[in-house]
Amino acid sequence: MRPVLLSCIPAGFGLLSLSCLAASPQMPPVDASSPIEKPVYATLGQYEATDVIEVKFRCGDVTRLRAGLWHSQRRGALDALVAFAPGQGIIERAEPLFTLDTGERAALEADASGMPALHQWFRLHLRQGEDLVAAVNRLNALDEVEVAYPAPLPVPMSAGLLVADDTTSPPPASPNLEGRQMYALPAGQGGIDAVHARSIPGGDGSGVRVADIEYSWNWQHEDLKKLTVAGTWIRQGSRITDPFNDNGHGTAVLGEMVGDANGYGVRGLVNGATPHYVNVTSPETGYNPANAVVLASRKLSAGDVILIEQQFPGPSPCTGFVAPEWIPSIYDAVSSAVRRGIHVVQTAGNGNVNLDDTRCFGSPFPGGRPDSGSIIVGAGSPWPTAWCSMRQAARSRLGFSTYGRRVNVQGVGQCVTSTGYGDIYNGGGNALYTGRFSGTSSSAPIVTAAVAALSGIAKARGKTITPQAMRSLLVETGTPQVGNTGHIGPLPDLRAAIERLDELP
């Protein structure tokens, strides 16, 4: 998605009114007087819908459809929006972007604590043949509209691995591949020292729930038995629809984090954590990653973790892939989760983009908005091994990784061994293993696991770490990045972080 075009971005551009968010323990104070600049479109990008608009109405108000027309709680009927009422003009139908129940929506409408105004987000479906660019520009010209933009389309996350097509039953025993999971080893061997963390009560993620948000998974994999437990799938819609038919990706992500400790295959960094998975696409909602974040946050509580495995194009000329919170609806969903004490981890994106480029992203990323409180993860080079010979130093930025000051920490971005795909072992469709999982896709689960391990240990000691304190702890105790080819931050070091845990309030 490209929220703005280069010709329309002034310095310090911001998509959302900063007055929508007040200060909280996890986020910095907000300048409510900041001017609002809205995007102006000339063309649509490859990953922008041609028939669906995401729109957020003015913050501090309640906008609803009544008798087919838009009404404001403060100002009554909104005559300027008649053309955008379902059946009245260019709009075929409209629906809330977030599938909140009646009680949740009423609570948000009445909330005065500065929580993101999720109830003010809608999706407008245009009639066939209508000009979406013109419609978006008309909406952004209205005072009643906070921001409008083309709805994002799905972006592939796969690192180019092929899913094996053998779906037969697995043989009796797959090989033990834990020796290839270098990312679990101590810092001096290129890992986050999950082995040490698992020796401490709670360090295997026990007592912590971890939700993975993406397209699809193989929940019947032999090394992911916990995925078959009722309630593990947090449903968006009636069923999962994967536009890329690649369940290997989600399977590999979950294998890194929660693979079973059973003597074969891999062992998840936090195999004691309770996993959940949330689909971003369904027949009823279409592609709606922001709603998936809200659905996950409903299920979770303070100290739990959400991982967003998605990426989106930045604006021209920064059109490489960047972190999910560049999309305004996702930013609001993330901010809402963080304010509830839930840790949110995001992929930085595989776009080799500098998020510090103010021409594209304002200052700071995203679009000059307040820090969401999430953790954004870049991709660093792995420790060299016999099966993974690298030409660059471990913990240096891999060339595809998006970077910048807003990227907080790194994970291993190449040669990651996990469940799925079948390039190092193919024992049938439910016994596939990879040694080549890569990208910010492979790096973000490693950081997510570090968060779950620290949260589990803290909970075992009777405390809950805030998202702000967790992010600071990972940055301050991590093994430093090597080289200066773009900031992606340190690699988490759980041993060092655990030593600091008792210092936290």
The token pair that represents 235 in the structure block: 């449903």
pTM: 0.91
Residues 321 and 449 in one domain: yes
Classified as helix, coil or strand, 378 is: strand
pLDDT of residue 171: 53
495: domain range? Answer: 178-499
Question: Token pair 């936090």 is at which residue?
Answer: 270
Q: Do the domain assignments include residue 160?
A: no
Q: Look at residue 265 in the predicted model and tell me its pLDDT.
A: 98
**Cα–Cα distance, 399 to 440 (Å, whole number):** 11
Helix, strand, coil % (nearest 5) of the chain? 25, 20, 50
Query: What is the SS3 assignment for 31-83?
Result: CCCCCCCCCCCCCCCCCEEEEEEEEEECCCCCEEEECCEEEECCCEECHHHHH
Q: Residue 208 falls within a domain, yes or no? A: yes
- Verify that 332 and 402 share a domain, yes or no: yes
Is 56 inside a domain boundary? yes
Asked, for residue 163, whether it belongs to a domain, the answer is no
Count of beta carbons in the 10 Å neighbourhood of residue 83: 13
Output the pLDDT for position 172: 52
Burial class (CB in 10 A: 0-12, 13-18, 19+), 5: middle
Distance, in Å, from the CA atom of 146 to the CA atom of 15, rounded to the nearest integer, reads 8
Per-residue model confidence (pLDDT) at position 103: 85
Residues 251 and 353 in one domain: yes
d(CA 394, CA 480) in angstroms, rounded, equals 10
Same domain, 86 and 233: no
**Residue 172 in domain:** no
**pLDDT value of residue 33:** 34
State whether 283 and 431 are in the same domain.
yes
Same domain, 249 and 353: yes
Same domain, 386 and 255: yes
Q: What angle do CA 234, 160, 420 make, to 5 degrees?
A: 50
Q: Is residue 157, in this structure, part of any structural domain at all?
A: no
Q: Which residue positions in the chain have pLDDT lower than 70?
A: 1-36, 112-113, 159-172
Same domain, 263 and 405: yes
Tell me how many domains the chain contains: 2
Tokens 């479906």 -> residue: 125
Clarify whether residues 286 and 338 are in a common domain. Answer: yes
Q: Are residues 264 and 343 in the same domain?
A: yes
- As a whole number of angstroms, the distance between CA 379 and CA 442 comes to 8
Residues 114 and 48: their CA atoms lie apart, in Å, by 30
In this structure, the answer to whether residues 263 and 362 fall within a common structural domain is: yes
Indicate whether 171 belongs to any domain: no
Q: Looking at the structure, do residues 113 and 233 belong to the same domain, yes or no? A: no
Residue 162 in domain? no
Among residues 112, 134, 152, which one ends one of the domains? Answer: 152
Residue 137's nearest CA partner among 268, 280, 263, 4 is 4
* Residue pointed to by tokens 């809402």: 336
Quote the pLDDT of residue 173.
Answer: 80
Residue 215 pLDDT: 97
What CATH number does residue 318 fall under? 3.40.50.200
